[in-house]
């Protein structure tokens, strides 16, 4: 075999394939949403004390703000596949983002500890769907090998 051809074959095999720019943009947007939902799950813990004081409720009650969010995330994640089959991945992801944003705004305006917990549960539903649905959308769009 000609050494020049062998070098070209080796060079073409060692070069990584370029990712589709549209896939990179899609992945970036979907990952950003998932990161925001995960960050929201942890950052609230910092403000639990001031929340309890501001809402005139006990620390034990206001801890449900974090616990309720995490329970909602855990509850809805297994439902994501069924929801995608029934309504479509894009529609479910957009609805989950809209729910997450609306519940975030309502949480910020909550007048009582009970309403804050309820809004955080809704926020957990939206946040819990973003990650698995986003991963599914990227996986469907990515090229198959093999």
Q: What is the pLDDT of residues 99-138, one digit of tens each?
A: 999 999 999 999 999 999 999 999 999 999 998 999 888 8
Residues sharing a CB contact under 8 Å with residue 49, sequence separation 6 or more, in sequence order? 59
Q: Are 128 and 75 in contact (CB under 8 A)?
A: yes
pLDDT of residue 99: 97
Q: What pLDDT is attached to residue 7? A: 55
Q: Which residue has the tokens 């403000």?
A: 47
pLDDT of residue 34: 77
Q: Which residue has the higher pLDDT, 42 or 51?
A: 51
Which pTM was predicted?
A: 0.80
Dump strand ranges (E) for 1-146. Answer: none
Question: Residue 3's pLDDT is what?
Answer: 57
* Other CB atoms within 10 Å distance of the CB of residue 5: 9
Say if residues 123 and 76 touch (Cβ distance below 8 Å): no
d(CA 62, CA 41): 14
Note the pLDDT tens digit of each residue in 21-34.
877 887 787 778 77
- Asked if residues 96 and 40 have their Cβ atoms less than 8 Å apart, the reply is no
pLDDT at 13: 60
Q: At 48, is the secondary structure helix, strand, or coil?
A: helix
DSSP state, 18?
A: P
**Top-confidence residue, 91 or 41:** 91
Cα–Cα dist 113/122, whole Å: 14
């Amino acid at each position: 075999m000609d050494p020049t051809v062998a070098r070209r074959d080796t060079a073409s095999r060692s070069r990584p394939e370029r990712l589709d720019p549209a896939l990179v943009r899609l992945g970036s947007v979907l990952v950003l949403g998932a990161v925001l939902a995960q960050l929201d799950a942890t950052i609230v813990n910092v403000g639990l004390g001031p929340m309890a004081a501001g809402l005139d409720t006990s620390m034990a009650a206001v801890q449900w703000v974090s616990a309720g969010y995490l329970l909602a995330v855990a509850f809805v994640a297994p439902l994501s596949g069924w929801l995608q089959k029934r309504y479509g991945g894009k529609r479910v992801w957009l609805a989950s983002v809209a729910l997450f944003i609306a519940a975030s705004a309502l949480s910020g305006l909550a007048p009582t500890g009970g309403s804050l917990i309820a809004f955080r549960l809704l926020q957990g539903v939206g946040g819990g769907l973003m990650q698995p649905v986003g991963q599914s959308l990227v996986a469907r769009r990515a090229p198959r090998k093999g």
